[in-house]
């Protein structure tokens, strides 16, 4: 268990994670880290099996701790089909079928992969009541230590409560070789944390919502660290990979400490995830989470800047002003790393903002602007600004061969 005492009303924060191992050859330690489990069910997809799964399987087999392995077809999505497959394959039949007994269940689920595989496995872990851990293969999102999983259910994307990983193992060598779209996705998920914390602070003051200064400070620190390192991602410097991985884990840990994704998800996630949902509703595979959220960050920044210029409210002006230097840093970073866009059409852009307001019950600047009756005007006004300042290429133009 990882824990800390705190000055907020919760007084104490803890998560059931026992080990967070981020190092160059972390994968070689997997059998030792999981030595207390004896029937480990390993889940990977075709890609993650090649980059990490095969080695993990060998190590667990040698230690005598592997029950069996499931390799999902790539690209595996965090949907009902993947969850169903993992569930079907989770137990093994006995040598002689016994009508009085259940199938042989594993005592641990090990996800080898990042976003999709991790979310799929932790749902099954939660439902079966078996602990799980993850060998992360790309620093693409902050869900390793999170308490919830966004899952595709039919034409809906719904957020479910799930298990928190007991063990998080990040092999920096493997993460260093991750496909570049996944690295950019990790950055996109991280740069929005300033917006999320600003939304949270405003909500604390305007709606009386619970707030924790220590958690907010941890998230900001992790974000600063990520942004400093991001420019080195394209050159795949080990330091950049380490900082991004640690930042994403810390962000997830803060979500778990808080008990909700509040410290890591504000306006930018509401907009980005609405675009994801719009794809799902149209029967399309949604784009990488952090890419959609990354674009949402630029929208949120321009909404806040416009409000800062135009509001007469001294309190709001003061709050936004604190974050203006961070917004400048994000704008400068985008000129270097050029996170590609998925939404360039004005109507889709505006719909993401308008529907994003109610994506979940959470007070953000979108709610504030709506209450003032100026949300759509703001959405239409920032569209050309976002496109001229931050847009370089669409995701498809930049990565034409990417599947999902
Ligand atoms: Zn606290
Ligand atoms: Zn996210």
Cα-to-centroid distance, 269 and ligand 2 (Å): 6
Amino acid 299: pLDDT: 98
Q: Which residues line ion ligand 2, judged by CB < 5 Å?
A: 189
Buried b (16+ CB within 10 A) or exposed e, 93-106: eeeeeeeeeeeeeb
Ligand 1 center–CA 216 separation, angstroms: 9
Q: How far is the CA of 269 from the centre of ligand 1 (A)?
A: 22
The confidence score (pLDDT) of residue 404 equals 62
Same domain? 169 vs 248: no
Q: What is the CATH number of the domain that holds 226?
A: 1.20.1090.10
- Buried b or exposed e, range 66-77, using 16+ CB within 10 angstroms: bbebbbbebebb
Å from CA of 212 to ligand 1 middle: 4
Do residues 251 and 393 both lie within one domain? Answer: yes
For residue 125, the CA-to-ligand 2 centroid distance in Å is 21
CA 178/CA 187 separation, integer angstroms: 13
Same domain, 187 and 171: no
Ligand minimally distant from the alpha carbon of residue 186: 2
Query: How many A from CA of 191 to the centre of ligand 2?
Result: 10
Distance separating alpha carbons of residues 56 and 228, to the nearest angstrom: 32
Q: Which residue segment(s) compose the domain that 214 sits in?
A: 180-398
Shared domain check, 199 and 91: no
- The domain tally of the chain equals 2
Instruction: Say how many Å lie between the CA of residue 128 and the centre of ligand 1.
Output: 31
| Domain stop point among 154, 176, 198 | 176
Mark whether 232 and 218 lie in a shared domain: yes
Residues 202 and 236 in one domain: yes
Do 221 and 188 lie in one domain? The reply is: yes
CA of 192 to the centre of ligand 2 (A): 9
Distance 290 CA to ligand 2 centre (A): 6
Q: Are residues 90 and 146 in the same domain?
A: yes
Task: Give me ligand 2 centre to Cα 92, in Å.
Answer: 35
pLDDT tens for the chain, 404 residues long, are 899 999 999 999 999 999 999 999 999 999 999 999 999 999 999 999 999 999 999 999 999 999 999 999 988 889 999 999 999 999 998 889 889 999 999 999 999 998 899 999 999 999 999 999 999 999 998 888 888 888 988 888 888 989 899 999 999 999 999 999 999 999 999 999 999 999 999 999 999 999 999 999 999 999 998 898 888 888 898 988 999 999 999 998 999 899 889 999 999 999 999 999 999 899 888 889 999 999 999 999 999 999 999 999 999 999 999 999 999 999 999 999 999 999 999 999 999 999 999 988 899 999 999 999 999 999 999 999 999 999 999 999 999 988 76
Identify the pLDDT of residue 230: 87
Report how far residue 238's alpha carbon sits from residue 267's, in angstroms, rounded to the nearest whole number: 31
Tokens matching residue 189: 């998920």
193 CA distance to ligand 2 middle (Å): 9
Within 8 A by CB and 6+ apart from 354, the residues are 375, 376, 379
Q: How far is the CA of 11 from the centre of ligand 1 (A)?
A: 6
- Centroid of ligand 2 to alpha carbon of 142 (angstroms): 6
| 394 found inside a domain | yes
| H and E: helices and strands count for the chain | 17, 10
Burial of 319 (0-12, 13-18, 19+ CB in 10 A): middle
Residue 404 lies in a domain: no
Q: Are residues 38 and 62 in the same domain?
A: yes
- How far is Cα 381 from Cα 395, in angstroms, rounded to an integer? 24
Of the listed ligands, the closest to the CA of 261 is: 2
Closest ligand to the CA of 218: 1
What is the distance between the alpha carbons of residues 367 and 357, in angstroms, rounded to a whole number?
A: 6
> Sheet harboring 66-72: ordered strands across?
19-23, 167-171, 132-136, 108-112, 40-45, 66-72
The length of the chain in residues reads 404
Which tokens is 210 given? 């619970």
For residue 76, what pLDDT is reported?
Answer: 87
Distance 112 CA to ligand 2 centre (A): 19
- Between CA 249 and CA 134 the distance in angstroms is 12
Residue 305 Cα, ligand 2 centroid: separation in angstroms? Answer: 22
Ligand 1 centroid–CA 200 distance in Å is 14
Q: Tell me if 12 is assigned to some domain.
A: yes
288 and 346 together in one domain = yes
User: Could you tell me the distance, in angstroms and rounded to a whole number, from the CA of residue 254 to the centre of ligand 1?
Assistant: 10
- DSSP per-residue string spanning 284-339: PPPPPHHHHHHHHHHHHHHHHHHHHHH---HHHHHHHHHHHHHHHHHHHHHHHH-P
The whole-angstrom separation of Cα 163 and Cα 16 is: 9
Ligand at minimal distance from the CA of 13 is 1
Q: Residue 396's pLDDT is what? A: 94
Distance between Cα 18 and ligand 2 center (Å): 23
Same domain, 363 and 271: yes
* Ligand 1 geometric centre to CA of 257 (Å): 8
Tokens of 104: 């042989």
């Amino acid at each position: 268990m990882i824990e800390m005492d705190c000055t907020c009303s919760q007084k104490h924060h803890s998560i059931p994670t026992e080990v967070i191992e981020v190092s160059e050859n972390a994968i070689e330690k997997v059998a030792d880290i999981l030595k207390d489990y004896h029937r480990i069910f390993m889940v990977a997809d075709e890609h993650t099996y090649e980059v990490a799964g095969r080695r993990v399987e060998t190590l667990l087999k040698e230690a005598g701790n592997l029950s069996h392995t499931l390799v999902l077809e790539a690209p595996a999505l965090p949907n009902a089909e993947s969850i169903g497959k993992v569930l079907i394959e989770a137990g093994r039949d006995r040598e002689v079928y016994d009508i009085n007994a259940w199938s042989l269940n594993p005592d641990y689920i090990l996800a080898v992969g990042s976003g999709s595989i991790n979310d799929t496995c932790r749902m099954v872990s939660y439902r079966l009541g078996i602990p799980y851990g993850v060998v992360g293969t790309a620093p693409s999102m902050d869900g390793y230590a999170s308490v919830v999983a966004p899952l595709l259910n039919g034409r809906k994307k719904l957020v479910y409560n799930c298990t928190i990983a007991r063990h998080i193992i990040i092999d920096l060598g493997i993460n260093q070789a991750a496909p570049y779209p996944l690295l950019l996705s990790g950055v996109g998920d991280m740069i929005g944390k300033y917006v999320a914390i600003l939304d949270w602070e405003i909500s604390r003051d305007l709606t009386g919502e619970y707030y924790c200064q220590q958690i907010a400070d941890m998230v900001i620190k992790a974000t600063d660290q990520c942004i400093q390192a991001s420019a080195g991602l394209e050159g795949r410097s080990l330091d950049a990979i380490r900082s991004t991985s640690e930042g994403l884990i810390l962000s997830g840990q803060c979500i778990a400490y808080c008990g909700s994704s509040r410290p890591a998800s504000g306006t930018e996630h509401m907009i980005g995830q609405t675009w994801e949902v719009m794809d799902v509703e149209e029967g399309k595979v949604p784009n990488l989470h952090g890419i959609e959220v990354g674009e949402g960050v630029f929208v949120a920044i321009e909404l806040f800047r416009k409000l800062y210029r135009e509001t007469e409210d001294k309190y709001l002006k003061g709050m936004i002003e604190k974050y203006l230097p961070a917004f400048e840093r994000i704008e400068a970073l985008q000129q270097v790393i050029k996170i590609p866009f998925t939404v360039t059409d004005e109507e889709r852009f505006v719909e993401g903002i308008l529907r994003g307001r109610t994506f979940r019950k959470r007070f953000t600047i979108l709610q504030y602007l709506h209450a003032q009756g100026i949300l759509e005007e703001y959405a239409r006004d920032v569209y050309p600004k976002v496109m001229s300042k931050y847009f370089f290429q669409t995701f498809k133009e930049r990565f034409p061969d990417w599947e999902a």
